[in-house]
């Protein structure tokens, strides 16, 4: 067993490692607690408004549980009238025994449901208030000390305490209480309206059925579709039940049971055509959302690593990049050209300008080398760079001595050569298609239709 001094020395040596843990744990725990607090604030507001509204209904309904004084007065007046009439006739009046009051069944059901609903709503507000206090206390205890080792162990101790005492379950139970309270209110409303008017009752029943059906659908949708954003507090229970049923149905002990979040991560990362389509849509959205050159530069900087590894070509994203360059509303090449021309604005420092030019030329080299050989017309054409930076395609480009002094001249020339090569392959592919079609027409004895092979290649 180590001595306290040796243990302290080991902790001091591990302070940098624990500082990383504290940084990550603090972000996770703070995000978790803040989400709990925001949820509880919403619950408190809704529970308060709902309880106030429900109290107004209860004030109206609980009177039906006691005898109505007006009815008693009417009965006494009727009894007196009968007694006077009998006395006038000389008859003896028999006083009837007092009637025993019994509240209607619908009144009992309505008040029982509404009082239970009010109790659940108030319990929800109480637990939400306590949870906000627990969340503040959690963050306070975790940040009392400044030493990384102590904070790390306190974070770990408190977080696993949350898991041990099922704090996450308590958080899910609070909205469940409020939802149950709301459903009980609608059920009590049906019982309240039943002796009043049948048409209004049917409307309330229809509303109750719609609410229950929508709630049930929102509960099971996350079980069927892992990307569904809707859920209820019962969704986690239905997910666990579905996993247990699947394991029993397959009769396999080797079936891995995942939580809903783990299954979502697995589905999102599994190779599939759907994932490829999602990746492409995400890249399109990214390029469109980068309105400023300073935002676009990191994206362009990552393109070479996206397309090329240290030794070999990476093929996973090349189709995406080709489509981004060909989409008119995205215009990746024109965006890169605009980024490159921004270096001549005089607004950047020499170092920033050099860095941006290198980034652009590297990206152009990577894009231009995606398809740099003639291909059959049935596949994607090589890229045509003839409209990109016309000065790069001039027969006698001027020597940029400033670029040479800054060490970017070889990047520039490599990009120009690869872009010219890609453009040449683009034209060669079009010409090969024309020759193939003309040969087919000649072999069939038909006159060549030159009108269908008009294409325009702008070169400067």
Which H helix or E strand runs over 242? helix 235-250
Inside any domain, residue 55: yes
Region for 454 from its dihedrals, namely left if φ exceeds 0, alpha if ψ lies in -120 to 50, beta otherwise: beta
Q: How many CB atoms lie within 10 A of CB 25?
A: 19
* Domain presence at residue 106: yes
The arithmetic mean of pLDDT across residues 90-98, rounded, is: 64
Query: What's the average model confidence in pLDDT over 120-130?
Result: 93
**Against a cut of 0.75, is the pTM above it?**
no
Evaluate whether residue 308 is within a structural domain: yes
Span 191-224, pLDDT tens digits: 999 888 889 999 999 999 999 999 999 999 998 8
What's the DSSP call for residue 308? Answer: B
Query: In this model, does residue 457 exceed pLDDT 70?
Result: no
Q: Is residue 223 part of a domain?
A: no
* 438: three-class secondary structure by DSSP: helix
Residue 256 belongs to a domain: no
Mind listing the pLDDT tens digit for each residue in 101-120? 677 888 899 999 999 999 99
Residues 351 and 309 sit within 8 Å (Cβ to Cβ): no
Q: What is the pLDDT of residue 456?
A: 45
pLDDT digits (tens, 9 = 90+) for 366-375: 888 886 544 5
Per-residue tokens: 444: 């069939």
Judge whether 3 lies within some domain. Answer: no
Token pair recorded at residue 299: 């994206």
Mean pLDDT of 185-193: 92
The rounded mean pLDDT for the chain is: 80
Q: For residue 460, is it within any domain?
A: no
Q: Is 313 helix (H, G, I), strand (E, B) or coil?
A: strand
Report pLDDT for 459.
41
The answer to whether residues 37 and 147 belong to one domain is yes
Q: Give the model's confidence band at 378: pLDDT under 50 very low, under 70 low, under 90 confident, else very high.
A: very low
Nearest residue to 187 (alpha-carbon basis) of 208, 212, 201? 208
Q: Are both 297 and 187 inside the same structural domain?
A: no
Let me know: does 116 contact 184? Beta carbons within 8 Å. yes
Residues 45 and 158 in one domain: yes
Same domain assignment for residues 173 and 307? no
Beta carbons of 446 and 452 less than 8 angstroms apart: no
| pLDDT tens per residue, range 329-375 | 888 888 888 888 888 888 888 888 888 989 999 999 888 888 654 45
Residues 64 and 191 both lie in one domain:
yes
**What is the tens place of the pLDDT at every residue in 130-146?**
998 988 888 888 778 77
As a whole number of angstroms, the distance between CA 360 and CA 340 comes to: 6
Residue predicted with more confidence, 25 or 444? 25
Domain extent, residue 191, equals 14-68+102-196
Average pLDDT of the residues in 248-266: 73
Does the structure show a pLDDT above 60 at 391?
A: no
**Which of 130, 165, 196 delimits the end of a domain?**
196
Pair (38, 153) in one structural domain:
yes
* Domains contained in the chain, number: 2
Distance CA(47)–CA(58), nearest Å, equals 16
DSSP type of residue 346: S
Single residue among 160, 177, 196 that ends a domain in this structure? 196
Tokens of 333: 């090449």
| 41-79 tens-digit pLDDT | 988 999 999 999 999 999 988 888 776 656 566 666 666
CA angle 19, 22, 24 (to 5 degrees): 110
3-state secondary structure at position 201: helix
Please tell me the distance from the alpha carbon of residue 335 to that of residue 319, in angstroms, as a whole number: 18
* Any domain includes 458: no
| pLDDT the model gives residue 460 | 38
Last residue of a domain, one of 137, 166, 196: 196
Residue 1 has pLDDT above 80, yes or no: no
SS3 (DSSP) at 202: helix
């Amino acid at each position: 067993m180590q001595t306290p001094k040796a243990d302290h020395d080991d902790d001091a040596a591990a302070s940098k490692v624990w500082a990383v843990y504290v940084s990550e744990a603090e972000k996770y725990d703070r995000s978790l607690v803040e989400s709990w607090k925001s949820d509880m604030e919403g619950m408190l507001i809704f529970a308060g408004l709902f309880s106030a509204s429900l109290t107004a209904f209860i004030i109206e309904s609980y009177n039906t549980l006691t005898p109505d004084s007006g009815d008693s007065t009417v009965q006494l007046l009727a009894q007196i009238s009968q007694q006077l009439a009998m006395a006038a006739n000389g008859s003896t009046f028999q006083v009837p025994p007092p009637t025993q009051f019994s509240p209607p069944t619908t009144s009992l059901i309505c008040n029982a449901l509404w009082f239970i609903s009010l109790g659940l709503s108030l319990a929800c507000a109480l637990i939400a208030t306590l949870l906000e206090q627990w969340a503040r206390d959690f963050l306070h205890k975790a940040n009392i000390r400044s030493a990384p080792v102590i904070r790390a162990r306190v974070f770990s101790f408190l977080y696993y305490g949350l898991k041990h005492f099922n704090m996450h379950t308590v958080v899910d139970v609070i909205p469940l209480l409020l939802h149950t309270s709301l459903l009980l209110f609608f059920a009590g409303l049906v019982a309240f309206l039943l002796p009043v008017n049948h048409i209004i009752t049917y409307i309330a029943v229809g509303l109750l059925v719609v609410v229950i059906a929508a709630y049930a659908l929102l509960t099971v949708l996350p079980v069927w579709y892992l990307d569904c954003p809707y859920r209820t507090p019962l969704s986690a229970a239905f997910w666990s039940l579905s996993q247990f049923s699947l394991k029993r149905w397959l009769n396999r002990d080797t079936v891995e049971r995942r939580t809903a979040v783990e299954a979502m991560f697995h589905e999102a990362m599994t190779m599939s055509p759907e994932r490829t389509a999602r990746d492409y849509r995400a890249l399109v959205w990214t390029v469109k959302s980068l309105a400023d050159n300073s935002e676009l530069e990191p994206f362009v900087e990552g393109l070479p690593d996206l397309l090329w590894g240290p030794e070999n070509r990476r093929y996973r994203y090349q189709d995406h990049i080709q489509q981004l360059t060909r989409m008119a509303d995205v215009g990746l090449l024109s965006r890169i050209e605009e980024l490159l021309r921004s270096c001549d604005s005089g607004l950047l420092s020499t170092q920033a300008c050099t860095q941006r030019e290198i980034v652009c030329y590297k990206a152009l080299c990577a894009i231009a080398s995606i398809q740099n050989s003639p291909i059959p017309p049935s596949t994607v054409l090589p890229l045509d760079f003839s409209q990109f930076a016309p000065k790069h395609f001039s027969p006698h480009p001027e020597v940029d001595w400033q670029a040479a002094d800054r060490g970017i001249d070889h990047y520039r020339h490599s990009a120009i050569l690869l872009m010219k090569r890609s453009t040449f392959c683009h034209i060669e592919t079009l010409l090969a298609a024309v020759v193939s079609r003309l040969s087919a027409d000649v072999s069939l004895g038909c006159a060549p239709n030159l009108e269908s092979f008009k294409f325009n290649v702008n070169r400067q």
